[in-house]
Amino acid sequence: MSKTELATDADPLLQPFRLKHLTLKNRIMSTSHLCGLHEEGFPQARYQAYHEEKARGGLGLTMFGGSSSVSADSLWAGGQINVATDDVIPFFEQFSSRIHRHGCALMCQISHLGRRAESYAGDWLPAIAPSPIRETLHRSIPKAMDRHDIERVIKAYGSAARRCLEGGLDGIETLASGHLIGQFLSARTNRRTDEFGGSLENRCRFGLLVHEEIRRQVGDAFVVGLRFVVDEKGGEDLSFEECLKIASQFEASGLIDFFNGIYGTMDTEMALAVDNMPGMASPIAPWLAQVGEFKQHVDLPVFHAARITDIATARYAISENLLDLVAMTRAHIADPQIVNKLLAGHEERIRPCVGATHCMSANRPTCPAQPGKRSGTAAAAGHRAVRQAGPAYRDCRGRSGRT
C-alpha cells in the first residue's frame, strides 16, 4: 500500500463526504470571502486562478464570492461578485471548468446586504432593511422595505441561484447572519408589525420565502446551504436557543442541504475582528465548541470556519463529530498545498497561518507566509540577506536557492 493510500485510510480529514448528490473527496474546504481579485464585478482570470491553486492543492470544496450581490441595491465598496446579471454566467462556466478538472467542487455565496449596503456605491440606491435601523459599522439609514421590495428581492435571490446553476457550479449558500435574511430574523433589527415581524415564525417568513423561490428556479437537485449564526450572544441579539428554533424551521422546510455555522455579530468593527474573523490575538478555533454543540441539535451537515489554522485542530473537529466539513480558508492562503502535503505524508511542511490578517488588507489575498506571491513582486538576481526571520524564513531560503 502506498504512502498516499495509508494517509487516506488513517486520516479523518481525508475521508470522502456525501453532500446530496456530490461526493467531496475530503473533509477540508475553503469558505466564501472577498478576495479582492474581481474585475468589473466578475470572477475573471486572476480570481479563478486564486481558487484553482487551492483546488490543485487537493481541496475538496472551495466556495467563492463572499457577499455576492443579488441586486443593484446590495453594494458596498468592497468588491463583490455581481450575480444580479446573466453576464456573469460565462465567467462561472470558465470558473467551474477550471476547478472541476482538479476534482474539487465549487460553490458561490449569494446575499443581499440589507442595511449594510452603502448608498453611495454603484447607482446610489438607498439601502433597504426590514426596519429603518442604522448599522453602526456601515452607517446607512435604510428604507423600510415595502411589499414591492420584498417580492423583488425574493425573486432576485432565485435568479441569482439560477445563474449559478447555469454556470455549472455545484451549489450555493445564502448568508443569514448580519445580512438581509438575518436582519429579518433578529428582533433587534426587525420591528415590523406585519406578517414579516413580531413572532419568531413571522421573522423566519422572509428567509423561507427566499429559499422557496431559489428552489423554484433551480430545482431539488442543486445544493443549497445557509451560512447561519449559531449564537449572537443573546441580549437584544439572538440567543443559542432562538437560533436552534430558527434552524429547526429551515431544516423542517426541506429547502436547504447544510448549515455553515458562524458565531456572533458583524455590525461593528470589534464584532468583525473578534467574532467573524479572529486574528492572532484570539485563541485557535474560538467558536468550534459552540458550533459543535449546535451540530448535536440538527440533522443537516454542519460546516464552520473561524481561525482553524492547524491540522491537529481540524482533525479533532472531524474525529469528534463537531463538524462534517472543516473550513481552513485563511490557512489555504498561507499554504494552498495543505491536502497534497497531507496525502504525501509531509504534514510538517505545511506553512502555518499565524493570524496576521494581512490577507484582509488592501493587498489581499497576500500572506506573510507567501512572500513571493505579492502583486508586482519580481525575482531579482543577486545575494539576499534574511534578518529576524519569521514564518516566511524557510520559504524565502527555498526561493533563494539555499538549503
Give the tens place of pLDDT for each residue, 258-287: 999 999 987 767 766 677 777 787 888 899
Which residue is listed with cell 479563478? 48
What percent of the chain is predicted at pLDDT more than 70?
87
Residue 380 confidence (pLDDT) above 50: no
| Residues 1-32 pLDDT 10s | 555 665 667 899 999 999 999 999 999 999 99
User: Per-residue confidence at 119, pLDDT binned at 50, 70, 90?
Assistant: confident
Q: What is the CATH number of the domain that holds 152?
A: 3.20.20.70
179 among known catalytic residues:
yes
Q: Which residues contact 380 (CB under 8 A, 6 or more apart)?
A: none
Q: Which residues contact 70 (CB under 8 A, 6 or more apart)?
A: 83, 84, 110, 111, 112, 153, 156, 157, 159, 160
- Provide the number of structural domains found in the chain: 1
Q: For position 34, what pLDDT does the model report? A: 86
All cell numbers assigned to 240:
443559542
User: Per-residue confidence at 386, pLDDT binned at 50, 70, 90?
Assistant: low
Contact 189, 131 (CB under 8 A): yes
Give Cα separations from 328 to 282, 332, 381 (angstroms).
16, 6, 35
Sign, CA dihedral 112-116-120-126, equals positive
Give Cα separations from 236 to 186, 226, 244, 265 (angstroms).
8, 22, 16, 11
Q: For position 402, what pLDDT does the model report? A: 44
Q: Are strands 128-129 and 171-175 parallel, antiparallel or unpaired?
A: unpaired
Q: For position 232, what pLDDT does the model report? A: 94
265 SS3 class: coil
User: Per-residue confidence at 212, pLDDT binned at 50, 70, 90?
Assistant: very high
Q: For position 92, what pLDDT does the model report? A: 99
Q: Which residues contact 13 (CB under 8 A, 6 or more apart)?
A: 26, 27, 28, 311, 314, 315, 318, 326, 342
Which residue is listed with cell 436557543? 241
> What is the arithmetic mean of pLDDT over 284-298?
96
Give Cα separations from 295 to 11, 35, 162, 171, 228 (angstroms).
21, 29, 29, 21, 12
What range does the domain containing 49 cover?
Answer: 3-399
Per the residue annotation, which of 51, 179, 211, 304 is the catalytic one? 179
Which range has the worst mean pLDDT, 54-63, 262-271, 310-319? 262-271
Neighbour-count burial for 19-55, b at 16+ CB within 10 Å, e otherwise: bbebebbbbbbbbbbbbbbbeebbbeeebbebbbbbb
| Residues 319-340 pLDDT 10s | 999 999 999 999 999 999 999 9
Q: What is the pTM of this model?
A: 0.90
Alpha carbon 339 to its chain's center: 19
Helices (H), 19-84: 45-56
User: Per-residue confidence at 376, pLDDT binned at 50, 70, 90?
Assistant: very low
> What is the arithmetic mean of pLDDT over 138-144?
88
Residue 220 confidence (pLDDT) above 50: yes
